[in-house]
Amino acid sequence: MADQRFVEMEELTISGFPIELSEKVFQKVAEGIMITDLSKRILHVNPAFEIVTGFQRDEVIGHTPKILQSGIHKGDFYQSMWTEVQTTGEWQGEIWNRRKNGEIYPEWLNIMAIRDNAGEIRNYCGIFTDLTDRKSAEKELKEMALTDSLTGVSNRYDFAERMQQLLKTSEKYTITHSLLFLDLDRFKQINDSLGHDIGDRLLVEVSQRIRELIKNKDIIARYGGDEFVIALSAIKHPREAAHLAESIIDALGRPFLLNEEEIYISTSIGISLYPNDGQTADELLRKADKAMYFSKENGRNQFCFFHDELKPSSKRHVVLESELRKAIELKTVKMVYQPKIDIVNNRITGYEALVRWESEKLGQVSPAEFIPHAESSGLIAPLSELIFEKVCEDFIQFNMERGNKAPISINISGMHFQQSQFVSTLKSVFERMNCQPSFFELELTEHTIMANGTETADKLNELKNLGFKISVDDFGTGYSSLSYLHRFPIDYLKIDRSFISNINGIKENELIVNAIINMAASLQMDVIAEGAETAEQVELLRRLGCGIVQGYYFSKPMPAESVSYFVEEWNISQQERV
Ligand code: C2E
Ligand code: CA
Ligand code: CA
């Protein structure tokens, strides 16, 4: 049998392949192959033919391919197919055939005319692929192409299509829509430190929380890694978009419980309005994106509407980066110092070091803008090192001037803290500068501490062992519980400015501050209230039992040169009091 097949094969030269090779291919390929004579009687089929059609070789040899016809195609379909094979030597296309069990199925068929040495057609060869799997795969693909596979919300393609429809219907009427562009703050950090699994689950939960806040007619799509867009359709007033943005920021500010860990994130949102900001989805997206960047640059965890002044912002981005690079190289950033006052004994207990940078091209730039920028452009480590160095230099200077050894607290960037070399870098700067860590405190935000879980505890313990004291900065903004923070070696809690700034007006704030002070005391942490601007605030804080206060009421941050003058004035005023 095999010999006979070989003989028949020998008569054919398929694409000039050596015969043994053709035979091997013939046997192994996944495509069904059938070879006929000139009158289209089947001479040969391969194993794949048997599998796809369900017919055994013996059942088809000598028959024409008509036994496979499904009845779906009319006679002229086959006619034109064969005409093309005769004239061009080839035909290919999708064709519906019938298996032995009666099932009709689509296949991709390629028919070739095989000629002898004289150029005469001797045989026809049909090669086909079963499209059944591919068809259902295509259907799946189509569905998949519309939704984001991770979160199940629309993807950017579906979003574009639905926006187009929405805007088309809106042309005829005067309807306002708004588009929210949302980007999670520091998502990359979470992804890198806790793993992609947690990152993915976080995105799923984020999309669920957003979904709960929008209506069916609105569109939500995942636009990229940690970016979501929402079309809020047919709104009566931009206020509605602002409300939604606020609720989203609130909802995503609540902790996410993943792997028994509480994870904290925040989000920045940009908003554009149809038809004012743009007529097309693209334009609206671009402007919302720009507004989102502005929110980020202004400190994150907030929203911003697009407006014309935002236009140069992307250029600012570029200039900022190159200017900042220069500033680090030339060491032109400066530190200012804000005193912290022990309001029980009326003493200066220390200073917080805050960085200042005046760029030639951009003027004074706020650290709330350039620190996050340094974090996202890889400049945070060199910038932080420079800050440590400057603080050490100033500390030595204060010390020489009047033996003033009041401790200095240094703000630590969350991103820098996370880097594996953080502790060793810090240690080596302090060694090099010959400064004892026990005169220094490190301020880490609540977010930084909460976001890094177990690793945080190890790092904080290392820092404690070196002699540094640890403060939790902006406490009260991150929903962390004091009992959770108790696992970490923390010396100070700094109550966020937002609680202090209207502590006299809002009873709730007073209660919160009171609770924080009492609980912190029971956990052996000292409380520092920051941002006190008025005598009334300081008075209330004193009544509530807060020991240390910092704020414009006592002093704005001042250049290092002014510190000794401030100390002198302070001492004089204290002597006058008694
Ligand atoms: P922060 O650590 O919460 O710093 C307190 C901010 O509140 C400072 O703003 C300070 O000038 C301001 N402030 C102090 N008292 C008052 C007051 O009574 N009223 C008001 N309205 N504001 C007050 P600044 O210097 O613009 O810093 C902003 C943020 O930038 C800081 O927030 C901190 O997160 C970051 N930052 C500043 N310096 C550094 C630094 O050297 N390294 C790092 N990593 N971050 C820094
Ligand atoms: Ca601080
Ligand atoms: Ca703070």
Cα of 189 to ligand 1 centre, how many Å? 22
Question: In this structure, which residue's CA is closest to atom 23 in ligand 1?
Answer: 531
Helix residue ranges, H only, 353-421: 367-376, 380-402, 414-418
Mean pLDDT of 487-507: 86
Strand-strand pairing, 492-495 and 469-475: parallel
Q: Please determine, for residue 5, whether its predicted confidence score (pLDDT) is greater than 60.
A: no
Closest CA to 541 of 513, 502, 518: 513
Looking from the CA of 436 toward its CB, the CA atoms found within 13 Å total 6
**Burial class (CB within 10 angstroms; exposed 0-12, middle 13-18, buried 19+) of 434:** exposed
Q: What is the atom index within ligand 1 of the atom nearest the CA of 501?
A: 19
Long-range CB contact pairs, 111-118, < 8 A, 24+: 111/81, 111/85, 112/85, 113/85, 113/86, 113/89, 114/12, 114/13, 114/14, 114/35, 115/89
Cα of 59 to ligand 3 centre, how many Å? 84
Cα of 473 to ligand 2 centre, how many Å? 5
Q: Which pLDDT value is given to residue 25? A: 67
Three-state secondary-structure class, residue 316: helix
* CATH superfamily to which 333-356+376-577 belongs: EAL domain (3.20.20.450)
Between 400 and 87, name the one with better pLDDT: 87
- Of the bound ligands, which one is closest to the alpha carbon of residue 413? 1
Share of the chain above pLDDT 90, in %: 49
Between 242 and 217, name the one with better pLDDT: 242
Mean pLDDT of 418-445: 95
Question: In this structure, which residue's CA is closest to atom 11 in ligand 1?
Answer: 557
Residues 289, 283: Cα–Cα separation, whole Å = 10
Contact 324, 373 (CB under 8 A): yes
Helix residue ranges, H only, 298-445: 313-330, 367-376, 380-402, 414-418, 422-432
Q: Which pLDDT value is given to residue 8? A: 42
Q: Which pLDDT value is given to residue 528? A: 97
Torsion of CA 228, 233, 236, 238, to 10 degrees: 20
Assigned token pair, 304: 């911003």
Question: In this structure, which residue's CA is closest to atom 37 in ligand 1?
Answer: 354
Q: How far, in Å, are 46, 286, 390, 428, 448 from residue 408 at the CA level?
A: 83, 44, 12, 18, 20
Q: Which pLDDT value is given to residue 518? A: 81
Cα of 470 to ligand 1 centre, how many Å? 17
Closest CA to 493 of 437, 537, 550: 550
Q: What is the atom index within ligand 1 of the atom nearest the CA of 336?
A: 25
- The length of the chain is 578
Residues 67, 192: Cα–Cα separation, whole Å = 60
Q: Please determine, for residue 14, whether its predicted confidence score (pLDDT) is greater than 50.
A: no
Three-state secondary-structure class, residue 228: strand
Three-state secondary-structure class, residue 494: strand
- Average pLDDT score, the chain: 86
Cα of 92 to ligand 1 centre, how many Å? 71
Q: Which pLDDT value is given to residue 484? A: 67
Q: Which pLDDT value is given to residue 294? A: 86
Residues of the chain with CATH 3.20.20.450: 333-356+376-577
Q: What is the atom index within ligand 1 of the atom nearest the CA of 494?
A: 3
Pick the CATH number of 137-305 from 3.30.70.270, 3.40.50.1970, 3.40.50.2300, 3.20.20.60: 3.30.70.270
Q: Which pLDDT value is given to residue 479? A: 52
Cα of 422 to ligand 3 centre, how many Å? 21
Which of 186, 366, 411, 534 has most ligand 1 atoms within 8 Å of CB, for mutation? Answer: 411
Place of tokens 């799509």: 221
pLDDT digits (tens, 9 = 90+) for 472-486: 998 877 655 666 677
Contact 409, 337 (CB under 8 A): no
Q: How confident is the model at residue 7 (pLDDT cuts 50, 70, 90)?
A: very low
Between 144 and 465, name the one with better pLDDT: 465
Identify the CATH class of 2-130: alpha beta
Question: In this structure, which residue's CA is closest to atom 45 in ligand 1?
Answer: 411
Helix residue ranges, H only, 111-174: 132-146, 156-171
Assigned token pair, 526: 């000292």
Question: In this structure, which residue's CA is closest to atom 10 in ligand 1?
Answer: 557
Residues 50, 52: Cα–Cα separation, whole Å = 6
Cα of 399 to ligand 3 centre, how many Å? 26
Is 368's C-beta closer than 6 angstroms to any atom of ligand 1?
Answer: yes
Cα of 535 to ligand 2 centre, how many Å? 22
Q: What is the atom index within ligand 1 of the atom nearest the CA of 353?
A: 41
Cα of 354 to ligand 1 centre, how many Å? 6
Is 355's C-beta closer than 6 angstroms to any atom of ligand 1?
Answer: yes
Q: Please determine, for residue 29, whether its predicted confidence score (pLDDT) is greater than 80.
A: no
Is 207's C-beta closer than 6 angstroms to any atom of ligand 1?
Answer: no
Is 502's C-beta closer than 6 angstroms to any atom of ligand 1?
Answer: no
Which of 335, 354, 394 has most ligand 1 atoms within 8 Å of CB, for mutation? Answer: 354
Q: Which pLDDT value is given to residue 562? A: 95
Residues of the chain with CATH 3.30.450.20: 2-130
Cα of 412 to ligand 3 centre, how many Å? 11
- Of the bound ligands, which one is closest to the alpha carbon of residue 338? 1
Cα of 443 to ligand 2 centre, how many Å? 6
pLDDT digits (tens, 9 = 90+) for 284-339: 999 999 999 988 887 788 899 998 666 545 578 788 989 999 999 999 999 999 99
Is 552's C-beta closer than 6 angstroms to any atom of ligand 1?
Answer: yes
Q: Which pLDDT value is given to residue 466? A: 97
Helix residue ranges, H only, 441-533: 446-451, 453-466, 482-485, 497-501, 507-522
Q: Please determine, for residue 392, whether its predicted confidence score (pLDDT) is greater than 90.
A: yes
Beta partners for 21? none
Q: What is the atom index within ligand 1 of the atom nearest the CA of 366?
A: 26
Is 354's C-beta closer than 6 angstroms to any atom of ligand 1?
Answer: yes
Mean pLDDT of 146-175: 83
Q: Helices 313-330 and 380-402: crossing angle, nearest 10°? A: 50
Is 338's C-beta closer than 6 angstroms to any atom of ligand 1?
Answer: yes
Q: Which pLDDT value is given to residue 483? A: 60
Q: Please determine, for residue 28, whether its predicted confidence score (pLDDT) is greater than 80.
A: no
Residues 363, 476: Cα–Cα separation, whole Å = 32
Q: How far, in Å, are 146, 157, 229, 284 from residue 160 at the CA level?
A: 10, 5, 11, 11
- H or E element at residue 440: strand 440-445
* Residues by chain with Cβ below 5 Å of ion ligand 2: 411, 443, 473
Between 478 and 207, name the one with better pLDDT: 207
Question: In this structure, which residue's CA is closest to atom 28 in ligand 1?
Answer: 368
Beta-carbon count within 10 A of 57 CB? 16
Strand-strand pairing, 266-274 and 303-305: parallel
Q: What is the atom index within ligand 1 of the atom nearest the CA of 335?
A: 41
Is 86's C-beta closer than 6 angstroms to any atom of ligand 1?
Answer: no
Helix residue ranges, H only, 279-343: 281-297, 313-330
Is 551's C-beta closer than 6 angstroms to any atom of ligand 1?
Answer: yes
Q: How confident is the model at residue 3 (pLDDT cuts 50, 70, 90)?
A: very low
Residues 43, 150: Cα–Cα separation, whole Å = 51
Q: Which pLDDT value is given to residue 309? A: 65
Burial 181-208 (b: 16+ CB within 10 A, else e): bbbbbbbebbbeebeeebbebbbebbbe
Q: What is the atom index within ligand 1 of the atom nearest the CA of 410?
A: 41
Lowest mean pLDDT of 53-62, 168-177, 475-484, name the range: 475-484
Residues of the chain with CATH 3.30.70.270: 137-305
